[in-house]
């Protein structure tokens, strides 16, 4: 059993969670929602930073830590991404809730979590 846990822990090493805003705006330029999220969150020369990602992290830090710990522990026990993906989805949903600009709803509802090695 300990060997299996060790193997699963090694599989977990290097695994990352990425939150992306999926899709394009239905305009002629086909602007990527991810680009709009980046510009709105971090700001540009003409856009004041909204910092909705950082705001969400501050509001949900403890919840995210507990949620991700559950996902990580489940992965160590069974080496499947299912529970870890659920944890990442919670983070993505919370970031989407924190979006305080662009009322097209496309940005708020586009946040998706991806697991990668």
Its pTM surpasses 0.85:
yes
Return d(Cα 115, Cα 88) in angstroms, integer.
Answer: 8
pLDDT at 7: 94
Cβ partners under 8 Å of residue 30, min gap 6: 24
pLDDT one-digit tens code per residue, 71-95: 999 999 999 999 999 999 999 999 9
pLDDT one-digit tens code per residue, 34-66: 999 999 999 999 999 999 999 999 999 999 999
| Tokens linked to 92 | 């993505």
pLDDT at 101: 72
CA 40 to chain centre: 16
Query: What SS3 state is found at 117?
Result: coil
Return d(Cα 49, Cα 84) in angstroms, integer.
Answer: 30
Task: State percent of the chain over pLDDT 70.
Answer: 97
Contact 116, 81 (CB under 8 A): no
């Amino acid at each position: 059993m300990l060997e299996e846990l060790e193997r699963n822990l090694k599989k977990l090493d290097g695994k990352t969670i990425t939150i992306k805003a999926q899709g394009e705006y239905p305009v002629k330029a086909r602007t990527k929602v991810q680009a709009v999220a980046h510009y709105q969150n971090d700001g540009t020369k003409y856009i004041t930073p909204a910092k909705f990602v950082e705001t969400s992290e501050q509001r949900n830090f403890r919840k995210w830590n507990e949620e991700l710990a559950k996902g990580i522990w489940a992965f160590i026990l069974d080496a499947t991404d299912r529970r870890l993906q659920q944890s990442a989805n919670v983070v993505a949903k919370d970031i989407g809730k924190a979006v305080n600009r662009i009322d097209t709803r496309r940005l708020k509802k586009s946040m998706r979590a991806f697991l990668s090695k």
